[in-house]
Structure formats: C-alpha cells, structure tokens
Amino acid sequence: MDRQRGFLPTNKNEMKERGWEQADFVYISGDAYVDHPSFGMAIITRLLENAGYKVAVIAQPDWKDDASITVCGEPRLAFLVSAGNMDSMVNHYTSAKKRRHQDAYTPGGGFSRRPDRAVIVYSNLIRKTYKKTPILLGGIEASLRRLAHYDYWSDSVKRSVLLDAGADLLMYGMGEHSVLEIAEALQAGIPVKEITYVRGTVFRCHSLSELSGEYELLPSYPAILESKEEYARSYYRQYQNTDALTAKRLVEPYKEKEYVVQNPPALPLTTEEMDEVYALPYQRTWHPSYDAQGGVPAIQEVKFSLVSNRGCFGGCSFCALTFHQGRRVQVRSHASILREAREMTKDPDFKGYIHDVGGPTADFRHPACKKQLEKGVCSHRQCLFPEPCPNLDSSHRDYISLLKKLRQVDGVKKVFIRSGIRFDYVLAENNQDFLRELCEYHVSGQLKVAPEHISDPVLAMMGKPANDVYERFVRQYHAMNRRLNKKQFLVPYLMSSHPGSGLKEAVELAEYVRDLGYMPEQVQDYYPTPGTISTCMYYTGLDPRTMKPVYVPRSAREKKMQRALIQYRNPDNYAIVKEALLAAGREDLIGYGEKCLIPPRPGHGKKTSGKEGNAERRWSGKRGTKTQTKKKKTIRHVHKKKKHG
C-alpha cells in the first residue's frame, strides 16, 4: 500500500486522487508535515477530518514565492495558519540573538525553512492571492502574541499579531473546541466577521457598541507604549484571566474605531475528549516526501513518548504554559494511554523503551484541588509558590497506578520519566511512595529536576520554591537510592541572568557549582519569550505581581559574565570570570584556596606541585589528587543543558 495515501493531501494532484475538487480547509504550517499527536498541526487537521471536513496541508511553503501558497488551491471555508510547534523567533535565534543553524522541525534538521514572524508572513502571502478567503491563526506563536506584547528581538512592544497578520480570527490556547465551533459556523454560512462569540478566540471590532455582554477594558496600546507601569498592569491582568471559569472578555483599544477583543478561554477538554483526540488515525511519523532527507529530527524525542496531561499549576515565571494552556490540568484515561503504548510496541523501531509519560509536568495527573473544578483557579495565589497551598491535592496514586500498568505491557522493558517532575510537589505528599516508584523503575541513570538557581531572592522572581526545598529533595532522593542500592544521579537545570539575578547572585550560583565538584558543559541563559511574567519583568523592570522594582541584567557583557561564572572551570572563560569576580567585589575567590574559583592568572600553577598545582588543576578541569578524585565520585549531580519548552 502507498504509505503516502495515509497522509492528508499536500497538493492538487493528491486532492484529485481522493476525488476532491476543493478542500474545505488548507492548513499552512512553519513545521514540516509530521502526522503525530505531539504536533499541533496533526491534531487540528485530524480533528477536522474526523468531523467530516476535507483538509489539505501546505508545510513550510516558500514565502518568497507567491505560488507556494496556491498548491492546494483556495479552500472552501478558510486557511488555517500556524508558525508550528515553536514561536518562529525562538526557533531561529538564541538568547544572544544569534541565528541558529539547525531546526529540528525542518527535514534533515538544517537551516529553517520558515520565515521570521511566520504567521504574519504566511497570512500576508495568502492575502496577496486570495483577497477574501477567511484566515484563521493558531499555534503557540499566535497564542502568545494575541494581544500587545513585548518583542525581545526588536526590543519593542508590538501590536496584536492579529492586526499585523491581517487575519480574521485568532485561536489561542489548545484549539480543539474553538476550531470545531468556527468550522460549524462557517459551514452554516455565517460570515467570519460575525463569528465573535467563540471561546478561545480573538477578533477585531470597530466600536464598543458592537460588543454584547460584559467586558473589561485594558490599557490602550498607546498607553502601554508610553508607560511601562501600564504595560505591567495590562499584562498581569491578562495573566490572571487564563481560566475558563473565571475569565472575562478583555478589550484592548488601539485607536479610534480599532479594538482587539479576547474572548474567555475555551473550556478544558474532558478526559473523554482527550481520549478521542489521541485516538485519531495519526500516521505517527513524517511525510514520506522527507525520507530522502533523513526525515524530521523533532519526532525522535516524542515518537516513543506518551502524553498523559495538559496544563500546569506549577506557575514558573519564565514559562508561557500558563498563558497558553492554563493552570487547569487535563488528563487522558489509563485505557487511552495503554492503548497507545500497545500500538507503539508494534513499531519496528521500538526497542522496548518508553521514553516519557507526562506533559508540561510529568507528575501532574489531576487538578491542583477540587475547588478548581467548580470555581476555577485562584487568580491571586499560586498552587505551589511560595509554598504549597493547604488545599493542594498532592497525591501521586493515579500516576503510580498508570506507570505500573505501562510496565506490564507486553514488549515494554522500561518506562522512563523525562519531561520533568516538580520536586516540591513530590515533597508535598506525606509519604514517599512515588519517590520509591520513581527511583526503582523510572530513572534512566539520571533524573532531571529544575531548581534553576540557589539564591532565594532570584527563586522568588522565578516563582520557584526556596533553595532549602530543593536541598531537602536531594537528600531524600539520595537516601532512597541508597535504600534501593542504586547509583543514580540528579541533573539540576540552572539558569543565568534571570530578572533579580545580579553578579552577587551569579557568584553564589558559581560557588554552589564549585561545591558540587562538576562543571556544567552548557548553561541555560534566560530568554525573554512572549507571554511570561519574567519577560514582563525584563521589559518593565517591575514585578507585575507586586509592581515593585526588579533588577534586570540586560547588557550582553553582564549576561556573558553570569554565564561564564557557572562555567568558571573552562579555561576559555578565565578572563571574563576574573572580570566578573572583581566587579562583584569577590577577589577572595581568586587564589589557591580550596574555596577559590580561579587562580591569580591562567597557567601559573601548571608545572608546580602542592597547593598551586592542585588549584590550577581544579580550575582547568584536570584531575587533581586522589582525595579530590574520590570526592568527585561521591557527587550525585550531573549538569546538562535545559531543553526549551
């Protein structure tokens, strides 16, 4: 059988093979075509297909060629436009604004085949040829830029992407409910300009008199351009407005007779609805047209992983998930996940290892508390920060049960947990049942956790628990591994240059790394992406939760210093580490003592013995004395780069 026939059509010839003269929807994506439920394009297109619509796909069209947008013709109902699984600017640039040379979502993994600000470029390209066809935006790029937002790459506050794209509607969050309701309306002949009532959408209007029902007026776009305080207030009001049960309609004025209106979020999927989404007939691989290029690398991380939940009540300041998926956790049933696991074992490439069972946070398998189901999430307090809420349901019983069932599936040798756990959530439970289960069965030698920093003032800005909470988890983790007679390590993710972190705090982090006895090869620099509290801090210098000033490291030089301090053992970093220590007034860390980070000058102790020689070897990463080597072997920490999520 022709493998290509299992995919949706990607051109007019393939449409004709199905007997189609015209598609109902044409989906345009910045990602290569991968028909797997970890890709938003696959979920939305299969969902529409399941509802009876004809859907075609144009993946990574050449934005420099007008004809590339016409290969499937004009759709009967609408174009659907997404930048892909990542914001195109994050996909293209590092936190230092340097161009990336690889794109895991492009065939072969080479240079990206999507433009910067992809949803704007694709929409404008469509409009050049198809003047009146409805354009619907979706995906993470559109979702996080749905209202006025700070754009790190241009260092400016940009308008809602809906306006710059010239599109008709924008779907934010997880779009299953929204896209089906819009499709039904278009199918019924309702003009797209009249589809202003769908949850999880953003639209334009010319007069407030057009709006029915209650709404809340946000500061105007000119006002937030003028005042960073107004920007912070506006952003935080949006942040508090992400729960479907409590959210209001928000209106952002731009100029006279121009308003952008955000409807309340779509209702979360029920377990039954989640099961239906993940049971759709995905091909679970890339389109065969990419075979000659080696396929699409991004699928390797997810091909043998299982999504068990959505949403996150963790509340990290630098994470956009609250703004995109919301804080209410939604889950699939055990039966649905087990069914997918059994199908996975039939894949000829499956070697017996399930790489992950999780989601935004692996061990969140139910809402934070029962109150959320009836009254929504609290708008003025977090579930875990600064400490767990008294109403928090910290039980891991359901997750443990799911993991046990997966281990018993024929053909499964091992089930790993790699999407990350919340160590403070693990500690919140009054027993160690999950910790035992985790250490005994689900760690692949190294467990990834995210303390991010060790300075409590910085952690407060991050929305993370105090450092002593992490240290308590470390002790319990190692104690459990000793009881189980296992040698398993921790991989703590660390971040430099987050708002609130000055050189003083960066030096504290370097001293922590020193005491671990191991240098991280790569470090996560804070990246101001759209839709986060931390980005609001970065731009305004204010914590929007309190409106109090926050120190922000903005200069490239200071960011480089903070990063280099964590990797002080790298000889290439010697000069900038010394500069950072002098700037921080920490000359005491320059010398030959056990607590020093670097020697007085590079190369001084290489041919000497004793204290100077040992200091030189410690700094350069070379093996020191037998005592030092033994000490390193007792360390239970390994550092690796944090994945972007």
By DSSP bridging, strand 356-358 and strand 353-354 are unpaired
**pLDDT, position 494:** 93
**pLDDT, position 255:** 87
CA distances from 445 to 417, 432, 448, 636 (A): 11, 19, 10, 11
- pLDDT over 90, % of the chain: 85
Dig out the tokens for 430 from the structure: 């009054």
**Of 1-10, 66-75, 76-85, 232-241, where does mean pLDDT reach its minimum?**
1-10
**pLDDT, position 339:** 97
Residue 500 carries which DSSP code?
A: T
Q: Which residue has the higher pLDDT, 264 or 630?
A: 264
Residue 386, preceding bond cis, omega within 30 degrees? yes
**pLDDT, position 620:** 66
In the structure, what pLDDT confidence band is assigned to residue 492 with cuts at 50, 70 and 90?
Answer: confident
Is there a contact between 84 and 91 (Cβ–Cβ < 8 Å)?
A: yes
CA–centroid distance for 300 within its chain: 17
**pLDDT, position 617:** 63
Domains and CATH numbers, the chain: 3-262 (3.40.50.2300), 304-444 (3.30.750.210), 445-645 (3.30.750.200)
pLDDT tens figures, 347-400: 999 999 999 999 999 999 999 999 998 899 998 889 999 999 999 999 999 999
Per the prediction, the chain carries an average pLDDT of 92
Question: Residues 274-279: what's their mean pLDDT?
Answer: 97
CA distances from 205 to 195, 251, 528 (A): 11, 10, 30
Which of 214, 211, 213, 232 is closest to 223 using CA atoms? Answer: 232
Half-sphere exposure of 92 (CA within 13 A, CB side): 17
pLDDT score of 457 more than 90: yes
- Rg (the chain; Cα; Å): 26
Dig out the tokens for 480 from the structure: 């459990």
Element (H, E) at 47: helix 40-50
Q: Which residue has the higher pLDDT, 445 or 433?
A: 433
Is there a contact between 307 and 37 (Cβ–Cβ < 8 Å)?
A: yes
**DSSP codes of every residue in 2-26:** -GGGGSPP-SHHHHHHTT-SS-SEE
Which of 520, 525, 583 is closest to 554 using CA atoms? Answer: 525
**pLDDT, position 420:** 85
Which of 69, 93, 81, 66 is closest to 31 using CA atoms? Answer: 81
Buried b (16+ CB within 10 A) or exposed e, 273-305: ebbbbbeeebbbbbbbebeeeebbbbbeebbbb
User: What single letter denotes the amino acid at residue 196?
Assistant: T
Q: Supply the pTM of this predicted model.
A: 0.92
pLDDT tens figures, 319-341: 998 889 999 999 999 999 999 99
Q: CA-CA distance, 22 to 24, in Å (whole number)?
A: 7
Strand partners, 138: 82
pLDDT score of 456 more than 60: yes
By DSSP bridging, strand 149-151 and strand 156-158 are antiparallel
CA–centroid distance for 43 within its chain: 18
Buried b (16+ CB within 10 A) or exposed e, 613-629: bbbbbbbbeeeeeeeee
pLDDT score of 613 more than 80: no
**pLDDT, position 479:** 97
Residue 35 carries which DSSP code?
A: -
pLDDT tens figures, 505-514: 999 999 999 9
Is there a contact between 219 and 234 (Cβ–Cβ < 8 Å)?
A: yes
Buried b (16+ CB within 10 A) or exposed e, 396-433: beebbebbeebeeeeebeebbbbbbbbbbbbbbbeebe
By DSSP bridging, strand 353-354 and strand 414-415 are parallel
Residue 290 carries which DSSP code?
A: G
By DSSP bridging, strand 169-171 and strand 201-205 are antiparallel
| Total Cβ atoms within 10 A of residue 594 | 11
**pLDDT, position 288:** 96
pLDDT tens figures, 186-202: 999 999 999 999 999 99
pLDDT tens figures, 478-490: 999 999 999 998 8
In the structure, what pLDDT confidence band is assigned to residue 628 with cuts at 50, 70 and 90?
Answer: very low
In the structure, what pLDDT confidence band is assigned to residue 516 with cuts at 50, 70 and 90?
Answer: confident
pLDDT score of 241 more than 80: yes
pLDDT tens figures, 159-180: 999 999 999 999 999 999 999 9
Dig out the tokens for 631 from the structure: 């000490």
pLDDT score of 636 more than 90: no
**pLDDT, position 619:** 67
Which of 643, 641, 631, 604 is closest to 514 using CA atoms? Answer: 631
Question: Residues 562-589: what's their mean pLDDT?
Answer: 95
**pLDDT, position 498:** 98
Secondary structure class of 483 (helix, strand, coil): helix
Secondary structure class of 569 (helix, strand, coil): coil
**pLDDT, position 626:** 35
